[in-house]
Amino acid sequence: MHLSDLWFIAIAVLWAGYFVLEGFDFGVGILLPVLGRDDTSRRVMINTIGPVWDGNEVWLLTAGGATFAAFPGWYASMFSAFYLPLLLILVALIVRGVAFEYRGKRDSASWRRRWDAAIFGGSLLPAILWGVAFGNVLRGIKLDAAHNYVGNFFDLLNPYSLLGGVATLALFTLDGALFLALKTTGDIRRQAHVAARGTGVLAVLAGGGFLAWTEVSYRAPGHAATGIASVLLAAAAAVALLAAFAANLRGREGFAFGAAAAGIAAATAALFTALYPNVLPSTINTAYSLTTGNASSTAKTLALMSVIACIFLPLVLLYQGWTYWVFRKRVSAPPQAPQVPPARQPEKADR
């Protein structure tokens, strides 16, 4: 195994971590207008992800940086082809981050409603577009001999990639509902259980359909070992999602959330395994496809990156694990002060 193969695996792990962690952030934001019946409940929902959402986005930055350094050809062609979708994702993430910070800056109901809408939109759009983007990575795009994209934006809106968008939307919403059931109390907790039932059905159907379509149509040919591994990982993802659905019905919140996270991670691993050794297939000619061999940096660059990753990655994981441990308790709405009836004035006696 070459260093380029190891870094392909590392990038797959980074994307899996991002989809698991940022997935429930997106899910909470998508459910904000559904479960947040009043300002207090919306505040509770936002507080569940308040300490961790920005740390979860580090996985995206690391995955993008690792792709740029380890596979510059892949990075260049992918960002050229997906320029508009990635720009929309970037704008949505910026607006969402600003909304988290600015929502409580003014004591105004209309002010908070506008920023709540920004959180919803900034969560919904990336949840869909990430699935569309990865669907096109698996399916392939119109790359010419110079690895330049010669298609247009509407080529990216094909049935397979759109199903990928529905799958990621359903999976992230399910992840968010299960996270809220695990982290809240009272009415929000009960409503989150109900939301997880509906989104769980859609996640199993859309996610299972997307993985099945991938294995049948878009698995890299000529690699039996990775093909078998991809099928096994896809089956494991389906089993994990069914287990999450069943655990939610029984009220086993921790197991349900863990199973959903495992399902998202296994699904991501199945997609990357089906893609290997390609990193961006060409639909014009398979000879034009980008692979781990022709898109990677030099061996010296990959070796230096490996040393740096071995030093700093454990520190990042320890810090993020510590953050989750510190904020591990459930979030509850503040108790309401009892309403004291006004004192009754004594009646004056007639003179």
Which parts of 182-293 are beta strand (E)? 278-280, 290-291
Query: pLDDT digit string (tens) for 282-294?
Result: 999 989 999 999 9
Q: Are the C-beta atoms of residues 138 and 156 closer than 8 Å to each other?
A: no
Residue ranges of the chain with pLDDT lower than 50? 337, 349-351
pLDDT at res. 345: 52
pLDDT at res. 344: 56
**Domain 3-326, CATH:** 1.20.1630.10
Write out the two tokens for 283.
């639909």
Q: Are the C-beta atoms of residues 246 and 255 closer than 8 Å to each other?
A: no
Strand partners, 184: 331
Q: How many CB atoms lie within 10 A of CB 65?
A: 13
> Nearest to residue 241, comparing CAs of 174, 180, 160?
174
How many secondary structure helices (H) and strands (E) does the chain include? 12, 2
Quote the CA–CA distance of 85 and 78 in Å, as a whole number: 11
Burial class (CB in 10 A: 0-12, 13-18, 19+), 234: buried
pLDDT at res. 349: 46
pLDDT at res. 341: 55
Quote the CA–CA distance of 261 and 267 in Å, as a whole number: 10
pLDDT at res. 350: 45
pLDDT at res. 337: 46
Instruction: Return the C-alpha torsion angle 171, 172, 177, 181, nearest 10.
Output: 100
Query: pLDDT digit string (tens) for 123-143?
Result: 999 999 999 999 999 999 999
pLDDT at res. 82: 93
Domain map of the chain by residue range? 3-326
